Chain A
Amino acid sequence: MITVSLTINKKEYTCEIDPQTTLLELLREHLGLTGTKRGCEIGECGACTVIMDGLTVNSCLVPAFQADGSDITTIEGIASNGKLHPVQEAFLEYDAVHCGFCTPGMVLSAVNLLDNNPQPSQEDIRRALAGNLCRCTGYQQIFDAVQAASKKMKSKR
Protein backbone atom coordinates (compact mmCIF):
# COMPACT_ATOMS: atom_id res chain seq x y z
CA MET A 1 0.00 0.00 0.00
CA ILE A 2 1.11 3.56 -0.64
CA THR A 3 -0.09 6.87 0.73
CA VAL A 4 -1.22 9.58 -1.65
CA SER A 5 -2.18 13.10 -0.56
CA LEU A 6 -3.90 15.38 -3.01
CA THR A 7 -6.41 18.19 -3.29
CA ILE A 8 -9.62 17.43 -5.15
CA ASN A 9 -12.12 20.20 -5.79
CA LYS A 10 -10.42 22.33 -3.11
CA LYS A 11 -10.73 19.61 -0.47
CA GLU A 12 -7.68 17.75 0.83
CA TYR A 13 -7.55 13.97 0.83
CA THR A 14 -5.02 11.42 2.07
CA CYS A 15 -5.61 7.90 0.79
CA GLU A 16 -4.04 4.49 1.43
CA ILE A 17 -4.15 2.65 -1.87
CA ASP A 18 -2.52 -0.10 -3.94
CA PRO A 19 0.22 1.25 -6.25
CA GLN A 20 -1.79 -0.08 -9.21
CA THR A 21 -4.66 2.33 -8.56
CA THR A 22 -5.23 4.87 -11.30
CA LEU A 23 -6.43 8.39 -10.57
CA LEU A 24 -9.71 7.40 -12.26
CA GLU A 25 -10.14 4.45 -9.88
CA LEU A 26 -9.21 6.61 -6.90
CA LEU A 27 -11.86 9.17 -7.83
CA ARG A 28 -14.67 6.76 -8.69
CA GLU A 29 -14.14 3.78 -6.44
CA HIS A 30 -12.39 5.15 -3.37
CA LEU A 31 -13.93 8.60 -3.15
CA GLY A 32 -17.29 8.05 -4.85
CA LEU A 33 -16.73 10.89 -7.33
CA THR A 34 -18.45 9.09 -10.20
CA GLY A 35 -18.95 12.16 -12.38
CA THR A 36 -15.61 11.29 -14.01
CA LYS A 37 -16.48 8.57 -16.52
CA ARG A 38 -14.69 5.33 -17.31
CA GLY A 39 -14.55 4.93 -21.10
CA CYS A 40 -11.82 3.23 -23.10
CA GLU A 41 -9.27 3.19 -20.24
CA ILE A 42 -6.38 3.61 -22.68
CA GLY A 43 -6.41 7.35 -23.31
CA GLU A 44 -8.36 7.38 -26.55
CA CYS A 45 -11.80 8.72 -25.58
CA GLY A 46 -11.32 11.51 -23.02
CA ALA A 47 -14.39 10.53 -20.94
CA CYS A 48 -12.18 10.41 -17.84
CA THR A 49 -10.70 13.90 -18.37
CA VAL A 50 -9.92 15.88 -15.20
CA ILE A 51 -7.82 19.00 -14.65
CA MET A 52 -4.56 18.26 -12.83
CA ASP A 53 -2.38 21.20 -11.81
CA GLY A 54 -4.00 23.37 -14.45
CA LEU A 55 -3.74 20.84 -17.31
CA THR A 56 -6.29 18.41 -18.70
CA VAL A 57 -5.27 14.76 -18.34
CA ASN A 58 -6.80 11.34 -18.98
CA SER A 59 -7.25 10.12 -15.40
CA CYS A 60 -7.25 6.50 -16.64
CA LEU A 61 -3.60 6.94 -17.65
CA VAL A 62 -2.45 8.72 -14.50
CA PRO A 63 -1.44 6.33 -11.74
CA ALA A 64 -2.61 7.74 -8.42
CA PHE A 65 1.03 7.86 -7.25
CA GLN A 66 1.73 10.34 -10.02
CA ALA A 67 -1.05 12.60 -8.70
CA ASP A 68 0.48 12.76 -5.22
CA GLY A 69 0.66 16.40 -4.13
CA SER A 70 -1.35 17.65 -7.07
CA ASP A 71 -4.45 19.80 -7.36
CA ILE A 72 -7.32 18.07 -9.17
CA THR A 73 -10.59 19.48 -10.46
CA THR A 74 -13.33 17.06 -11.48
CA ILE A 75 -16.77 17.75 -12.89
CA GLU A 76 -18.10 17.82 -9.30
CA GLY A 77 -15.94 20.90 -8.66
CA ILE A 78 -17.03 23.00 -11.63
CA ALA A 79 -20.27 24.49 -10.30
CA SER A 80 -19.85 26.89 -7.40
CA ASN A 81 -22.27 27.58 -4.55
CA GLY A 82 -24.95 25.57 -6.27
CA LYS A 83 -24.69 27.64 -9.44
CA LEU A 84 -23.68 26.00 -12.71
CA HIS A 85 -20.54 27.16 -14.52
CA PRO A 86 -21.30 29.19 -17.69
CA VAL A 87 -19.99 26.26 -19.75
CA GLN A 88 -22.48 23.92 -18.07
CA GLU A 89 -25.31 26.43 -18.62
CA ALA A 90 -24.36 26.77 -22.29
CA PHE A 91 -24.29 22.97 -22.73
CA LEU A 92 -27.91 22.90 -21.50
CA GLU A 93 -28.98 25.86 -23.60
CA TYR A 94 -27.39 24.56 -26.83
CA ASP A 95 -28.48 20.92 -26.43
CA ALA A 96 -24.82 19.95 -26.31
CA VAL A 97 -25.66 16.86 -24.27
CA HIS A 98 -26.93 13.80 -26.08
CA CYS A 99 -26.30 10.55 -24.21
CA GLY A 100 -24.17 12.52 -21.76
CA PHE A 101 -21.31 10.08 -21.28
CA CYS A 102 -18.67 12.37 -22.83
CA THR A 103 -20.11 15.49 -21.21
CA PRO A 104 -18.06 15.68 -17.97
CA GLY A 105 -14.84 15.34 -19.94
CA MET A 106 -15.98 17.80 -22.60
CA VAL A 107 -16.94 20.36 -19.94
CA LEU A 108 -13.56 20.06 -18.22
CA SER A 109 -11.63 20.46 -21.49
CA ALA A 110 -13.81 23.48 -22.33
CA VAL A 111 -13.46 25.08 -18.88
CA ASN A 112 -9.69 24.59 -19.04
CA LEU A 113 -9.60 26.17 -22.51
CA LEU A 114 -11.55 29.24 -21.37
CA ASP A 115 -9.37 29.58 -18.25
CA ASN A 116 -6.33 29.90 -20.52
CA ASN A 117 -7.85 31.46 -23.62
CA PRO A 118 -11.02 33.44 -22.77
CA GLN A 119 -11.84 34.26 -26.39
CA PRO A 120 -11.07 31.17 -28.43
CA SER A 121 -11.67 30.87 -32.17
CA GLN A 122 -13.66 27.90 -33.52
CA GLU A 123 -10.31 26.38 -34.45
CA ASP A 124 -9.01 26.85 -30.87
CA ILE A 125 -12.14 25.13 -29.54
CA ARG A 126 -11.82 22.20 -31.93
CA ARG A 127 -8.18 21.80 -31.02
CA ALA A 128 -8.85 21.94 -27.28
CA LEU A 129 -11.63 19.33 -27.51
CA ALA A 130 -9.73 17.05 -29.91
CA GLY A 131 -9.05 14.54 -27.14
CA ASN A 132 -12.72 14.11 -26.23
CA LEU A 133 -14.79 11.72 -28.31
CA CYS A 134 -18.57 12.09 -28.56
CA ARG A 135 -20.05 8.83 -29.84
CA CYS A 136 -23.37 10.54 -30.50
CA THR A 137 -21.38 12.92 -32.74
CA GLY A 138 -23.09 16.09 -31.53
CA TYR A 139 -19.91 18.06 -31.92
CA GLN A 140 -21.34 21.19 -33.52
CA GLN A 141 -23.68 21.87 -30.58
CA ILE A 142 -20.74 21.39 -28.24
CA PHE A 143 -18.53 23.83 -30.18
CA ASP A 144 -21.40 26.35 -30.28
CA ALA A 145 -21.95 25.98 -26.54
CA VAL A 146 -18.30 26.65 -25.75
CA GLN A 147 -18.28 29.70 -28.02
CA ALA A 148 -21.46 30.99 -26.36
CA ALA A 149 -20.01 30.41 -22.89
CA SER A 150 -16.90 32.40 -23.80
CA LYS A 151 -19.05 35.35 -24.92
CA LYS A 152 -21.19 35.15 -21.82
CA MET A 153 -18.13 35.04 -19.54
CA LYS A 154 -16.59 37.98 -21.39
CA SER A 155 -19.69 40.14 -20.90
CA LYS A 156 -19.61 39.40 -17.16
CA ARG A 157 -15.93 40.23 -16.80
Chain B
Amino acid sequence: MNQQFEYINPQSLDEAVKLAGQGSVYAGGTDLLGLMKNDIAHPQRLVNLKALPELKAVERQKGKGLRLGALVTLNELAENEMLQKDFPAISQAAGSAASPQLRNVGTLGGNLCQRPRCWYFRGDFDCLRKGGATCFAMDGENKYHCVVGGDGCYIVHPSDMAVALLALEAKLEIYGPGGQRLLPISHFYVLPEDDPTVETVLQPGEIITSVIVPEQPVGSRSVFVKFRERSAWDFAVVSVAAALQVQNGAISGGKIALGGVAPVPWLDKKLNNTLAGTALDENGINKIAASALTDAEPLEQNGYKVILARNMIKGVLQSLAG
Protein backbone atom coordinates (compact mmCIF):
# COMPACT_ATOMS: atom_id res chain seq x y z
CA MET B 1 0.00 0.00 0.00
CA ASN B 2 1.20 3.47 -0.79
CA GLN B 3 -0.76 5.33 1.85
CA GLN B 4 0.74 6.49 5.12
CA PHE B 5 -1.32 5.82 8.22
CA GLU B 6 -0.95 5.32 11.90
CA TYR B 7 -1.99 1.95 13.25
CA ILE B 8 -3.40 1.44 16.75
CA ASN B 9 -4.52 -1.68 18.62
CA PRO B 10 -6.87 -0.48 21.38
CA GLN B 11 -7.46 -2.82 24.31
CA SER B 12 -10.98 -1.64 25.18
CA LEU B 13 -14.10 -0.55 23.36
CA ASP B 14 -13.98 2.89 25.02
CA GLU B 15 -10.42 3.39 23.85
CA ALA B 16 -11.40 2.26 20.35
CA VAL B 17 -14.32 4.69 20.19
CA LYS B 18 -12.13 7.57 21.35
CA LEU B 19 -9.52 6.83 18.71
CA ALA B 20 -11.94 6.00 15.90
CA GLY B 21 -13.28 9.57 15.71
CA GLN B 22 -10.21 10.60 13.75
CA GLY B 23 -9.69 7.50 11.73
CA SER B 24 -11.18 4.34 10.32
CA VAL B 25 -12.20 1.35 12.33
CA TYR B 26 -10.41 -1.76 11.09
CA ALA B 27 -12.26 -5.09 11.34
CA GLY B 28 -11.60 -7.62 8.56
CA GLY B 29 -10.36 -4.85 6.31
CA THR B 30 -11.33 -6.59 3.07
CA ASP B 31 -13.37 -3.60 1.88
CA LEU B 32 -11.32 -0.86 3.55
CA LEU B 33 -8.01 -2.02 2.06
CA GLY B 34 -9.60 -2.22 -1.40
CA LEU B 35 -10.88 1.34 -0.96
CA MET B 36 -7.43 2.50 0.15
CA LYS B 37 -5.71 0.75 -2.75
CA ASN B 38 -8.23 2.29 -5.16
CA ASP B 39 -7.49 5.72 -3.68
CA ILE B 40 -11.07 6.20 -2.45
CA ALA B 41 -10.42 6.06 1.32
CA HIS B 42 -7.47 7.87 2.92
CA PRO B 43 -7.63 7.20 6.66
CA GLN B 44 -4.89 8.83 8.73
CA ARG B 45 -5.34 6.20 11.39
CA LEU B 46 -6.51 2.58 11.46
CA VAL B 47 -8.11 1.49 14.73
CA ASN B 48 -7.89 -2.29 14.86
CA LEU B 49 -10.71 -4.03 16.71
CA LYS B 50 -8.89 -7.37 16.78
CA ALA B 51 -8.14 -7.28 20.52
CA LEU B 52 -11.80 -6.89 21.56
CA PRO B 53 -13.17 -10.41 22.13
CA GLU B 54 -16.56 -9.09 23.27
CA LEU B 55 -17.27 -8.30 19.61
CA LYS B 56 -16.80 -11.91 18.53
CA ALA B 57 -19.61 -13.72 20.34
CA VAL B 58 -22.60 -15.58 18.92
CA GLU B 59 -25.18 -15.87 21.72
CA ARG B 60 -28.79 -16.90 21.92
CA GLN B 61 -30.90 -16.12 24.95
CA LYS B 62 -34.40 -17.47 25.39
CA GLY B 63 -36.95 -14.79 24.67
CA LYS B 64 -34.31 -12.21 23.80
CA GLY B 65 -33.20 -13.70 20.54
CA LEU B 66 -29.84 -13.74 18.92
CA ARG B 67 -26.86 -11.50 19.51
CA LEU B 68 -24.22 -11.63 16.81
CA GLY B 69 -20.96 -9.81 17.53
CA ALA B 70 -19.88 -7.41 14.81
CA LEU B 71 -16.53 -9.18 14.41
CA VAL B 72 -18.02 -12.63 13.75
CA THR B 73 -16.76 -13.61 10.30
CA LEU B 74 -19.05 -14.43 7.39
CA ASN B 75 -17.77 -18.00 7.32
CA GLU B 76 -18.53 -18.43 11.02
CA LEU B 77 -22.10 -17.30 10.30
CA ALA B 78 -22.38 -19.54 7.23
CA GLU B 79 -21.17 -22.62 9.10
CA ASN B 80 -23.03 -22.10 12.38
CA GLU B 81 -25.43 -25.06 12.73
CA MET B 82 -27.86 -23.25 15.02
CA LEU B 83 -28.20 -20.46 12.44
CA GLN B 84 -28.57 -22.95 9.59
CA LYS B 85 -31.43 -24.58 11.48
CA ASP B 86 -33.28 -21.64 13.04
CA PHE B 87 -32.16 -18.58 11.05
CA PRO B 88 -31.34 -20.00 7.62
CA ALA B 89 -31.60 -16.63 5.87
CA ILE B 90 -28.57 -15.48 7.89
CA SER B 91 -26.35 -18.46 7.10
CA GLN B 92 -27.48 -18.51 3.46
CA ALA B 93 -26.69 -14.82 3.01
CA ALA B 94 -23.30 -15.18 4.72
CA GLY B 95 -22.40 -18.25 2.67
CA SER B 96 -23.31 -16.58 -0.61
CA ALA B 97 -21.14 -13.51 -0.06
CA ALA B 98 -17.71 -13.08 -1.66
CA SER B 99 -15.20 -15.95 -1.76
CA PRO B 100 -13.98 -18.45 0.88
CA GLN B 101 -10.85 -16.38 1.51
CA LEU B 102 -12.86 -13.18 1.99
CA ARG B 103 -15.51 -14.89 4.14
CA ASN B 104 -12.72 -16.13 6.43
CA VAL B 105 -11.67 -12.55 7.13
CA GLY B 106 -14.69 -10.37 6.37
CA THR B 107 -16.91 -9.58 9.34
CA LEU B 108 -20.62 -9.08 9.90
CA GLY B 109 -20.16 -5.42 10.88
CA GLY B 110 -17.88 -4.79 7.94
CA ASN B 111 -20.30 -6.43 5.54
CA LEU B 112 -23.06 -4.09 6.74
CA CYS B 113 -20.81 -1.04 6.34
CA GLN B 114 -19.11 -1.90 3.02
CA ARG B 115 -19.16 0.77 0.37
CA PRO B 116 -20.95 0.39 -2.96
CA ARG B 117 -19.52 -1.51 -5.92
CA CYS B 118 -20.72 0.99 -8.55
CA TRP B 119 -17.94 1.01 -11.15
CA TYR B 120 -18.01 4.79 -11.38
CA PHE B 121 -17.65 5.08 -7.60
CA ARG B 122 -14.84 2.50 -7.50
CA GLY B 123 -13.22 3.83 -10.67
CA ASP B 124 -11.54 7.08 -11.55
CA PHE B 125 -14.70 9.20 -11.73
CA ASP B 126 -15.42 12.26 -9.67
CA CYS B 127 -18.98 11.15 -8.99
CA LEU B 128 -21.64 12.61 -6.71
CA ARG B 129 -20.92 10.07 -3.96
CA LYS B 130 -17.27 11.13 -3.93
CA GLY B 131 -18.17 14.80 -3.70
CA GLY B 132 -18.43 15.50 -7.44
CA ALA B 133 -21.37 17.00 -9.29
CA THR B 134 -22.89 14.11 -11.27
CA CYS B 135 -23.88 10.48 -11.18
CA PHE B 136 -22.22 8.90 -14.21
CA ALA B 137 -24.48 5.84 -14.04
CA MET B 138 -27.64 7.84 -14.68
CA ASP B 139 -26.88 8.12 -18.42
CA GLY B 140 -24.00 5.64 -18.52
CA GLU B 141 -23.54 1.91 -18.08
CA ASN B 142 -26.29 1.18 -15.58
CA LYS B 143 -27.14 -2.50 -15.96
CA TYR B 144 -26.38 -3.20 -12.29
CA HIS B 145 -27.76 0.00 -10.79
CA CYS B 146 -30.90 0.67 -8.79
CA VAL B 147 -34.46 0.71 -10.09
CA VAL B 148 -36.02 2.40 -7.09
CA GLY B 149 -34.91 4.94 -4.48
CA GLY B 150 -32.24 6.49 -6.68
CA ASP B 151 -32.26 10.26 -6.55
CA GLY B 152 -29.18 11.78 -8.12
CA CYS B 153 -27.14 8.65 -7.29
CA TYR B 154 -28.07 5.19 -8.54
CA ILE B 155 -25.94 2.77 -6.51
CA VAL B 156 -27.26 -0.45 -5.07
CA HIS B 157 -26.23 -1.41 -1.57
CA PRO B 158 -23.95 -4.47 -1.91
CA SER B 159 -24.52 -6.18 1.47
CA ASP B 160 -26.22 -9.59 1.43
CA MET B 161 -26.31 -9.73 5.22
CA ALA B 162 -28.28 -6.49 5.44
CA VAL B 163 -31.05 -7.90 3.24
CA ALA B 164 -31.44 -11.03 5.39
CA LEU B 165 -31.30 -9.00 8.62
CA LEU B 166 -33.86 -6.51 7.31
CA ALA B 167 -36.36 -9.31 6.65
CA LEU B 168 -35.68 -10.67 10.15
CA GLU B 169 -36.28 -7.16 11.63
CA ALA B 170 -32.86 -7.08 13.28
CA LYS B 171 -31.52 -4.21 15.37
CA LEU B 172 -28.00 -2.86 15.52
CA GLU B 173 -26.21 -2.04 18.75
CA ILE B 174 -24.07 0.99 18.08
CA TYR B 175 -21.50 2.32 20.53
CA GLY B 176 -19.94 5.73 20.23
CA PRO B 177 -18.78 8.86 22.03
CA GLY B 178 -22.40 9.52 23.06
CA GLY B 179 -22.87 6.05 24.55
CA GLN B 180 -24.88 3.16 23.23
CA ARG B 181 -27.88 3.26 20.93
CA LEU B 182 -30.07 0.54 19.51
CA LEU B 183 -31.27 1.13 15.98
CA PRO B 184 -33.56 -1.00 13.78
CA ILE B 185 -31.60 -1.94 10.67
CA SER B 186 -34.47 -0.40 8.66
CA HIS B 187 -33.26 3.00 10.00
CA PHE B 188 -29.54 2.40 9.48
CA TYR B 189 -29.12 3.08 5.77
CA VAL B 190 -29.30 6.48 4.09
CA LEU B 191 -30.97 7.22 0.75
CA PRO B 192 -29.20 9.54 -1.72
CA GLU B 193 -32.04 12.05 -1.39
CA ASP B 194 -30.98 12.54 2.24
CA ASP B 195 -27.21 12.44 1.67
CA PRO B 196 -25.57 10.99 -1.44
CA THR B 197 -22.08 10.82 0.13
CA VAL B 198 -22.75 8.27 2.90
CA GLU B 199 -24.57 4.94 3.07
CA THR B 200 -25.24 4.73 6.81
CA VAL B 201 -26.16 6.94 9.76
CA LEU B 202 -22.96 6.01 11.64
CA GLN B 203 -21.31 9.14 13.07
CA PRO B 204 -17.53 9.59 13.45
CA GLY B 205 -16.33 7.38 16.28
CA GLU B 206 -19.39 5.13 16.24
CA ILE B 207 -18.95 1.37 15.93
CA ILE B 208 -21.51 -1.38 15.37
CA THR B 209 -20.87 -3.73 18.27
CA SER B 210 -23.61 -6.35 17.78
CA VAL B 211 -26.58 -7.31 15.70
CA ILE B 212 -29.69 -8.33 17.64
CA VAL B 213 -32.09 -10.65 15.84
CA PRO B 214 -35.44 -11.18 17.56
CA GLU B 215 -36.55 -14.73 18.20
CA GLN B 216 -38.87 -15.59 15.33
CA PRO B 217 -42.48 -16.59 16.13
CA VAL B 218 -43.35 -20.28 16.04
CA GLY B 219 -44.07 -21.38 12.50
CA SER B 220 -41.68 -18.84 10.97
CA ARG B 221 -39.61 -19.71 7.96
CA SER B 222 -36.76 -17.69 6.59
CA VAL B 223 -34.84 -17.91 3.35
CA PHE B 224 -32.33 -15.87 1.37
CA VAL B 225 -31.84 -16.26 -2.38
CA LYS B 226 -29.43 -14.38 -4.57
CA PHE B 227 -29.24 -14.05 -8.33
CA ARG B 228 -25.79 -13.33 -9.69
CA GLU B 229 -24.12 -13.67 -13.04
CA ARG B 230 -21.44 -16.07 -11.82
CA SER B 231 -22.39 -18.80 -9.37
CA ALA B 232 -19.50 -17.87 -7.07
CA TRP B 233 -17.74 -14.73 -5.84
CA ASP B 234 -20.19 -12.23 -7.22
CA PHE B 235 -22.41 -9.53 -5.85
CA ALA B 236 -26.18 -9.82 -6.07
CA VAL B 237 -27.90 -8.63 -9.22
CA VAL B 238 -31.07 -9.07 -7.18
CA SER B 239 -31.51 -10.81 -3.83
CA VAL B 240 -34.63 -11.68 -1.87
CA ALA B 241 -34.85 -12.46 1.84
CA ALA B 242 -38.10 -13.59 3.40
CA ALA B 243 -38.91 -14.23 7.05
CA LEU B 244 -42.57 -15.22 7.10
CA GLN B 245 -45.07 -16.86 9.37
CA VAL B 246 -47.43 -19.25 7.64
CA GLN B 247 -50.69 -20.54 9.15
CA ASN B 248 -53.27 -22.74 7.41
CA GLY B 249 -51.68 -22.14 4.02
CA ALA B 250 -51.70 -18.36 4.29
CA ILE B 251 -49.13 -15.80 5.38
CA SER B 252 -49.91 -14.45 8.84
CA GLY B 253 -46.97 -12.11 9.30
CA GLY B 254 -43.37 -11.30 8.48
CA LYS B 255 -41.37 -9.38 5.94
CA ILE B 256 -39.73 -9.67 2.53
CA ALA B 257 -36.61 -7.58 1.88
CA LEU B 258 -34.95 -6.99 -1.49
CA GLY B 259 -31.31 -6.42 -2.38
CA GLY B 260 -29.78 -5.13 -5.60
CA VAL B 261 -32.75 -2.94 -6.43
CA ALA B 262 -32.19 0.22 -4.36
CA PRO B 263 -29.38 2.30 -2.82
CA VAL B 264 -30.34 0.74 0.53
CA PRO B 265 -31.58 -2.75 1.45
CA TRP B 266 -35.18 -2.37 0.41
CA LEU B 267 -38.47 -2.96 2.20
CA ASP B 268 -41.06 -2.46 -0.51
CA LYS B 269 -44.14 -1.07 1.24
CA LYS B 270 -46.81 -2.32 -1.13
CA LEU B 271 -45.23 -5.76 -1.29
CA ASN B 272 -45.06 -6.05 2.50
CA ASN B 273 -48.62 -4.75 2.90
CA THR B 274 -49.81 -7.50 0.56
CA LEU B 275 -48.30 -10.34 2.59
CA ALA B 276 -50.50 -10.76 5.67
CA GLY B 277 -53.64 -12.75 4.98
CA THR B 278 -52.65 -13.80 1.47
CA ALA B 279 -52.83 -17.51 0.69
CA LEU B 280 -49.67 -19.26 -0.49
CA ASP B 281 -51.40 -20.71 -3.53
CA GLU B 282 -50.79 -19.79 -7.16
CA ASN B 283 -53.14 -16.79 -7.14
CA GLY B 284 -51.81 -15.48 -3.84
CA ILE B 285 -48.19 -15.89 -4.88
CA ASN B 286 -48.83 -14.09 -8.19
CA LYS B 287 -50.63 -11.30 -6.37
CA ILE B 288 -47.75 -10.79 -3.94
CA ALA B 289 -45.10 -10.87 -6.67
CA ALA B 290 -47.03 -8.37 -8.79
CA SER B 291 -47.20 -5.95 -5.86
CA ALA B 292 -43.38 -5.64 -5.72
CA LEU B 293 -41.54 -2.66 -7.19
CA THR B 294 -44.67 -1.09 -8.66
CA ASP B 295 -43.03 2.32 -8.14
CA ALA B 296 -39.79 1.31 -9.91
CA GLU B 297 -38.28 3.78 -12.37
CA PRO B 298 -35.64 1.74 -14.18
CA LEU B 299 -32.73 3.32 -16.02
CA GLU B 300 -31.94 2.49 -19.65
CA GLN B 301 -30.29 -0.90 -19.03
CA ASN B 302 -31.78 -2.30 -15.82
CA GLY B 303 -35.52 -2.75 -16.35
CA TYR B 304 -34.96 -6.52 -16.22
CA LYS B 305 -34.40 -6.25 -12.47
CA VAL B 306 -38.11 -5.62 -11.84
CA ILE B 307 -39.15 -8.83 -13.62
CA LEU B 308 -36.26 -10.75 -12.05
CA ALA B 309 -37.19 -9.59 -8.53
CA ARG B 310 -40.85 -10.54 -9.00
CA ASN B 311 -39.92 -13.98 -10.32
CA MET B 312 -37.49 -14.51 -7.46
CA ILE B 313 -40.22 -13.57 -4.97
CA LYS B 314 -42.47 -16.19 -6.60
CA GLY B 315 -39.73 -18.79 -6.24
CA VAL B 316 -39.15 -17.92 -2.60
CA LEU B 317 -42.86 -18.10 -1.77
CA GLN B 318 -43.23 -21.42 -3.61
CA SER B 319 -40.32 -22.84 -1.60
CA LEU B 320 -41.89 -21.65 1.66
CA ALA B 321 -45.29 -23.04 0.65
CA GLY B 322 -43.89 -26.46 -0.25
Contacts and interface: CB of A to CB of B under 8 A. Distances in A.
Same complex: yes
Interface of A: 2, 19-22, 41-44, 46, 49, 55-58, 61-63, 65-66, 109, 126-128, 130-131
B5 interface: yes
Contact of B104 (A41, A44, A57): A57
B272 to A, nearest CB: 33
Given A41-B37, A66-B50, A2 B102 contact: no
A58 B102 contact: yes
B233 A2 contact: no
Contact of B102 (A41, A65, A66, A131): A131
Interface residues of B, number: 28
A7 B232 CA distance: 32
Contacts of A22: 1, 33
A131 B37 contact: no
Contacts of B37: 41-42
B286 interface: no
Contacts, number: 79
A22 B34 CA distance: 12
B233 A55 contact: no
Main secondary structure of the interface of A (DSSP, over half): mixed
B38 interface: yes
A62 B26 CA distance: 11
A115 B102 CA distance: 19
Interface in B1-33: 1-7, 9, 26, 29-30, 33
B100 interface: yes
A20 B2 contact: yes
A58 B1 contact: no
Contacts of A56: 100-101, 104
Contacts of B99: 43, 46, 130-131
Nearest to B30: A61
Contacts of A57: 101, 104-105
